[in-house]
Structures are given as C-alpha cells and as structure tokens.
Amino acid sequence: MAYALRATGFTQRMNALGISVHCPTAKPRRYTYASGALSNVWFDRVDLDISAPEDKAGMDDSFAELMSLIEKLENEQGISSSRIYLGGFSMGGGMALATLARETKVLAGIFAIGSFLASDSAVYQSPQQRTMPRILLAHGQSDAVVPYAWGEATARRLYACSQENFGGDKEKGHGEEDRVAFYGFPRLQHTFDERVLSVLARWIETGAQKFPDVAEGCVQEEMTRTSLSSLPGAPSPSSADLPSIATAAAQSASATFPSDEVHMTLEKADARQTQTQEQTEEKGKVAPCKHRAVFRVPQDRVQSFLDRPVSARGAHFSFAHGPTPGTVCTSFESTRPEETAKALLERVKSRVRDPDAPGGIDTCHPS
C-alpha cells in the first residue's frame, strides 16, 4: 500500500500540503475465511458476504491499535486528532468505517475504498450522538470481489444515520451538511487508481469541508457520484437483494483478454540504486529497482489497458500511452531482488490478459 500511494504520486501530493501518510499493518490472526490460516487482517470473517456476522471482538482489538497510533501522532508530533484522516482499501476501509461504532476521538474524516459494512454492523445498531466525521466511499463498478451494490448499500445506510443526527440538504442531495458521499468508477475492479486517489486528495485538500464535484474535472476519466438522498425514506436493500460474488464475477467476465492479443518487450531496466550494508540495515529494507516495459496491443484495446491498473508481488502497475500507436507503457519499482523484471512483467501480462485466470498472478484474497 505504501508503495502504491507513492507510485501514483498521492503521498507526494499530501506531503506538499504538510500531511504525512502512514500505512499501519494489521497484526497476524487466525482468519476463518482463509481456512484458519494466520493472516495479517484487521478482523476475522467466516465468509465474504454482506450478510455474514461482524467480528466485533476482532474489530475492538484492531480499534485499540489504531487509537494507539493516533495518540502517538498527537503526543509525539503534536497533531490533533481533528486533523487526522482514517481510511483504507477493502478490509482496511471496512475497519475505518467500523470505528464509527466506537468511542473514538474526533477525526477530520473517514474514507473507504472498495469496502463495505456487514448488514448487522454495530455502526447501524447504535447511531452515535457525538460528532460524526465526514465520510467518503469509493467503489469500482466492475468489482468482482466486493460487489458495487454492497458499497452503495453501506453508503446509503451511513447516509441515513447521518441524516438522523445532523439533518442535511435533502432537496439538493449534495448539500454542505451532507456527511456521506459515494463515488463509483467505471471499469474499475477491486483496486484503486489515479481517479480514486484524485477524488480522495481533493477532498482532503479542502479539509473535508467539500466533497469533490463530478463537474470539477479533477480526474482524467469519468466517475459518478450517487445521490444517496434520491429515495428519501426508502428502506435499505436487504442482503437477499444484493448480488453474490459469483454474480459480480460473471458480470465482469466480458472484460478479459484473449491470450494471443498481448505482446510485451522489456525496454530497459535501470541499475539498482546503490546502498551500503550499513544503510540497508538502518532502513531495514531493500532499495527498489526501477524498470520500464512496453506492451503492444490491438489499437482498439489501448484504452482498456489504460483503465486496468494491477498489482503483483509488492509492485503496483498502471499504464500510460506508449511511444508508438497501439502500445502502452508501464514504469514501476520492485523491492524483490530475487524477481527479475522479465518474470514479474510476464505475470502482469497474464493478469491484464485475464484478471480471473488462475494461471496469472497469485489469487487475491479479501485481506
């Protein structure tokens, strides 16, 4: 996550505002959904489903860790909690939303990307009377892991909770008193890209006082913002009305690429950054190695590549127009010295060709 935020320029954009970005790691715990394997997850799941019971005990445990981090920022760096944003992707976003049911400090805002809350979440069962931070949710409309409908259902229920306690401009739908916004991104799967981070950055840059307007043109590709108050008083969809993961996967199956349409050449691989043993031991990590590769694809497939960021073995890839028509280019860093650029890029080619192919990059898990 830390690499992806740097590679897309998000961290640098925040640093320019005087904002530091921290990426805490969940502690290892037994994960039922992964057959009880020890995994770095924020809480347990018996199933990846919006109707599955919420692991309140696990969330309480992780909540204590997050509050400890916030207190450390307050005490050691003098940062008030009212200037701290808490959020994440997938399960990390769900954990951030779960803090709404707990006695947390006043935060500047909460965001969740590709996330959802369980139907029985404590957040819905006990609406907080204290100040509720502004909440931004973003979701890929082609998400086959966490269906888009789950994210929208979560946003609608959170919006209803905010209206009960804080009112809001229901007639306009996007009034300044609204505390929840939900953005959808066409063709985006269970990941995030520059479009998502641009919306998030604009929101943070305004101090969470204003949700980005779709008409602002703050992203290169289109996005949508759902009017959560479009059906005032309408009941939230039940879990029976929401699509399953299998249904969502079937809906996105048409986005795969035939195996003979992708050709790749490794254009160059820069030398690994030099680093002394003392520096390596001090930093506790290996310096990244930079690579650049060009993919040649049919002309009518170029835009599809540009809309398809992928991740593999700790490296995050996004594509740009290549040097000649019909090509796309990716530049990336990898901190895994045992992986050659060629081998890593072959996995990327397979992943781009067919996002659900078992022979591609290792299967993504909810964690």
Buried-state track 20-31, b at ≥16 Cβ within 10 A, e below 16: eeeeeebeebeb
| 82 Cβ contact list (under 8 Å, min separation 6) | 105, 106, 107, 108
Cβ atoms 289, 269 nearer than 8 A: yes
Contact 14, 20 (CB under 8 A): yes
Q: Residue 138: beta bridge partners?
A: 113, 183
**Nearest to residue 149, comparing CAs of 82, 215, 36, 50?**
50
Number of C-beta neighbours around residue 73 at 10 A: 16
Q: How far apart are CA 95 and CA 218, in angstroms?
A: 27
**What is the spatial distance between Cα 367 and Cα 46, in angstroms, rounded to a whole number?**
13
3-state class (DSSP) for residue 325: coil
The single residue of 44, 55, 62, 90 carrying the catalytic annotation is: 90
Residue 190 designated active-site: yes
Which of 102, 133, 95 is closest to 116 using CA atoms? Answer: 95
Nearest CA to 7 among 241, 290, 218, 227? Answer: 290
Known catalytic residue: 120? no
Question: Tokens 């254009």 correspond to what residue?
Answer: 267
Is 49 considered catalytic here? no
Catalytic residue among 44, 55, 143, 193: 143
Query: CA 220 to CA 321: how far, in whole Å?
Result: 14
Residue 189: alpha-carbon gap to chain centroid: 10
The helix (run of H) or strand (run of E) holding residue 348 is helix 341-353
Pairing relationship of beta strands 109-113 and 85-89 according to DSSP bridges: parallel
Q: Which of 326, 319, 320 is nearest to 352 (CA)?
A: 319
The residues annotated as belonging to the active site are 90, 143, 190
